[in-house]
């Protein structure tokens, strides 16, 4: 069967039983989002709390591995549980799609029992292979098998950007991507063989390699065709919704408001329909290899026949969650959930208007009136403070030395070159004085290295605490020891802890969290606000990400493109039209992978 014929054949199959497929796929994801994931997050927080570990990041992973064996064992057991649940979800949905397509007379309850029974017979080798399989081809697997649990595993964009700056590393990443894709397609049928035929991992691998022999491009092209058509339909559906609302906005009230409610609800349903459709098409690649599609004798998937009290409870839950969703939609469309975040210029530059962390760049950026200018300070050889980001000076000055190799006077004699501009390296005293003179607030990042003196923070507090408090500057740092020491010795200072990714909500004394934006979620922001802490997002440089951060209600946005951020914030201040609000909502939807918790 050609890829085009496959797409249209199984799309018609999806439309015939769209209700059953949505019940199976979206219902499973709702259960994961509302029950499983909160429980897992609670358990992670509980385990870390028992080990007196306030956070999990790259800075303390080694400590957890070497000094907290009980916590490590508990986290590994929890990881095993999560993998088991992912395997159960995969098995349940695979059995469900097979049941619908072969017209088996099975209820969801029977499918769940079958999946659980199958899990009882899992060999240890099957489990370990499953772990290896998903760790190896996670990006490819997440394109085929969409699950809220796997969607929590995200590589921060700044990591990829940093790696891609090196041509050799970028080439290796591209080669690795192709190798992973090749392995993913060659092992495409391993899990179905384990599930449908109860084969051992070694047998399943051998069989999958045989089934995909000289068929790599066939299946690669099929997946590409499905993705392309689904993307086109998705864009068309959202585009029509926007155009319809733009036309309705021309009518007198209350037609625009009523139309916006109907259109937004339709968009939300459409996004779930697309999620179910995509999952069915991708899973059908796996199912049709073993069970041909049955067109006649339609028997849609059914729930078990519930009792009267079960029906009443289900109706109450539907009314509650449906009402909550409608209430949230009203708040969103009315602009009552809008937040106006602080605008923060990253390293004191806007769209390359100077050399980062220098006074001339700050002077140019001050004219654009950011709420804060974010900048970096480091200790020098003579225990002073210099405004510089990198530990090594070579990238900006051409001098292959660190900030600790030179005195402040020697550092100030160097010229930094960037973005077609040249500027001298500034001392923190001069930078701070210029900011104070121009009433410009700073977000000061204290950067640390192993060469720092033990009294660095004490000297910083003694020298700068009063002026920082007077002029309402704020501090943040990637070094948790710096955060705790500042809050202990100078509790009045506003200190944020910089997190490179969102793994688990931290329990610290920090006043705020500066979070890498690609892993930042509404759940994290909500938990932070409930704990009385602010959230800053970094580094946000495109319109869609800016809109997403505003919609998540963050307190501040760090950006390299200040003018664009200010322009986007003005849209919210001016109370955008319903059509614009729908456009913003659509732009922040993860493509074909809508997560219910962010609706």
Band (pLDDT 50/70/90 cuts) for residue 592 is very low
Same structural domain, 310 and 413? no
Residues 147 and 43 placed together within one structural domain of the fold: yes
Contacts of 457 (CB under 8 A, 6+ apart): 446, 482, 485, 486, 489
At which of 293, 315, 334 does a domain end?
334
Q: 321 pLDDT band (50/70/90 cuts)?
A: confident
Same domain, 44 and 180: yes
Note whether 130 and 195 are same-domain residues. yes
DSSP 377-437: EEE-TTS-EEE-SSSBSHHHHS---BTTTS-HHHHHT-EEEETTEEEE-EEHHHHHHHHHH
Residue 595 lies in a domain: no
Give the residues across from 373 on adjacent strands: 345, 442
Question: CB neighbours of 557 closer than 8 A, spacing ≥ 6?
Answer: 341, 342, 343, 344, 536, 537, 538, 540, 546, 549, 550, 565
Mean pLDDT computed over 56-61: 78
pTM of this prediction? Answer: 0.82
Across 284-293, 367-376, 493-502, the highest mean pLDDT is recorded for: 367-376
Is 296 a domain residue? yes
Residues 308 and 350 in one domain: no
Least confident of 59-73, 100-114, 132-146: 132-146
Same domain, 429 and 280: no
Q: Are residues 285 and 432 located together in one domain of the fold?
A: no
Least confident piece of the model among 265-274, 430-439, 454-463: 265-274
Average pLDDT over residues 65-91: 87
Are 197 and 319 in a shared domain? yes
% of the chain beyond a pLDDT of 90? 52
233, 292 Cβ separation under 8 angstroms: no
CB atoms within 10 A of CB 253: 7
CATH number, residue 537:
3.20.20.190
Number of domains into which the chain is organized:
2
Please indicate, yes or no, if residue 579 is contained in any of the structural domains: no
pLDDT in tens, 161-196: 666 667 787 788 788 878 878 888 898 898 888 888
Over the chain, what is the mean pLDDT? 86
Average pLDDT over residues 239-261: 94
Whether 350 and 287 share a structural domain: no
Report yes or no on 585 lying in a domain.
Answer: no
**Separation between Cα atoms, residue 69 and residue 80, nearest integer Å:** 16
Q: At residue 486, does pLDDT exceed 90?
A: yes
Nearest to 489 by CA among 513, 509, 514, 517: 509
**Those residues with Cβ within 8 angstroms of residue 320's Cβ, 6 or more apart along the chain or in another chain:** none
Reply yes or no on whether the pLDDT at 399 is more than 70.
Answer: yes
Per-residue model confidence (pLDDT) at position 85: 86
> Where does a domain end: 293, 318, 334?
334
Q: Within this chain, do residues 429 and 504 fall inside the same structural domain, yes or no?
A: yes
| Between 100 and 596, the higher pLDDT residue | 100
Residue-number span of the structural domain to which 13 is assigned? 3-334
The greatest distance separating any two alpha carbons of the chain, rounded to the nearest whole angstrom, comes to 85
Helices (DSSP H) in 138-200: which residue ranges?
Answer: 138-144, 148-151, 157-164, 167-186, 190-196
User: Among 277, 309, 334, which residue terminates a domain?
Assistant: 334
Q: Rounded mean pLDDT of 340-346?
A: 96
């Amino acid at each position: 069967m050609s890829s085009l014929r496959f797409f249209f054949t199984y799309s018609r199959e999806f439309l015939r039983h769209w209700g059953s497929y949505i019940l199976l796929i979206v219902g499973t994801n709702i259960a994961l989002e509302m029950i499983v994931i909160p429980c897992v997050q609670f358990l992670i927080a509980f385990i870390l709390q028992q080990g007196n570990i306030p956070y999990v990041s790259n800075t303390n992973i080694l400590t957890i591995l070497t000094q907290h064996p009980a916590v490590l064992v508990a986290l590994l057991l929890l990881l095993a549980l999560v993998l088991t649940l992912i395997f159960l979800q995969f098995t349940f949905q695979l059995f469900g799609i097979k049941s619908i397509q072969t017209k088996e007379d099975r209820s969801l309850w029977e499918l769940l029992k079958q999946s659980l029974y199958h899990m009882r017979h899992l060999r240890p080798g099957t489990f370990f292979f499953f772990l290896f399989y998903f760790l190896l081809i996670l990006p490819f697997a997440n394109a085929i098998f969409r699950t809220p649990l796997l969607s929590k595993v995200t590589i921060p964009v700044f990591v990829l950007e940093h790696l891609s700056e090196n041509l050799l590393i970028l080439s290796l990443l591209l080669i690795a991507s192709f190798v992973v894709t090749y392995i993913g397609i060659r092992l495409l049928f391993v899990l179905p063989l384990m599930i449908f035929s109860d084969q051992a991992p070694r047998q399943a691998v051998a069989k999958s390699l045989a089934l995909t022999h000289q068929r790599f491009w066939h299946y690669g092209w099929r997946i590409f065709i499905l993705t392309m058509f689904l993307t086109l339909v998705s864009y068309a559906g959202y585009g029509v919704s926007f155009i319809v609302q733009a036309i309705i906005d021309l009518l007198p009230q209350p037609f625009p408001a009523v139309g916006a409610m109907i259109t937004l609800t339709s968009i939300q349903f459409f996004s779930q329909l697309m999620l179910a459709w995509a999952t069915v098409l991708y899973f059908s690649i796996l199912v049709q290899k073993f069970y041909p599609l049955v067109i006649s004798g339609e028997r849609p998937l059914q729930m078990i026949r519930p009792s009267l009290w079960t029906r009443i409870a289900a109706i109450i839950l539907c009314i509650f969650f449906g009402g909550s969703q409608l209430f949230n939609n009203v708040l969103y469309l009315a602009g009552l959930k809008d937040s106006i975040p602080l605008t923060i210029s990253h390293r004191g530059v806007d769209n390359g208007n100077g050399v980062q962390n220098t006074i001339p760049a700050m002077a140019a950026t001050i004219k654009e009136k950011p709420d804060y200018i974010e900048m970096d300070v480091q200790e020098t050889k003579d225990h002073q403070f210099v405004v510089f980001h990198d530990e090594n000076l070579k990238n900006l000055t051409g001098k292959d030395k660190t900030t600790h190799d030179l005195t402040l006077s020697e550092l100030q004699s160097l010229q930094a070159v960037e973005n077609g501009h040249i500027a001298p390296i500034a001392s923190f005293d001069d930078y701070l004085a210029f900011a104070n003179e121009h009433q410009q607030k700073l977000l000061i990042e204290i950067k640390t290295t192993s060469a720092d003196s033990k009294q660095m923070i004490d000297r910083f507090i003694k020298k700068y605490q009063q002026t920082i408090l007077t002029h309402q500057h704020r501090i943040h740092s990637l070094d948790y020891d710096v955060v705790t020491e500042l809050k202990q010795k100078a509790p009045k200072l506003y200190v944020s802890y910089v997190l490179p990714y969102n793994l688990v909500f931290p329990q610290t004394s920090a006043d705020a969290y500066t979070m890498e934006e690609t892993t930042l979620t509404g759940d994290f922001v909500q938990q932070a606000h409930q704990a009385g802490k602010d959230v800053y997002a970094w580094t946000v440089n495109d319109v869609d990400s800016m809109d997403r951060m505003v919609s998540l209600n963050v307190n501040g946005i760090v950006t390299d493109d200040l003018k664009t951020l200010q322009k986007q914030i003005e849209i919210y201040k001016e109370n955008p039209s319903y059509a614009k609000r729908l456009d913003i909502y659509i732009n922040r939807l993860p493509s074909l992978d809508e997560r219910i918790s962010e609706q």
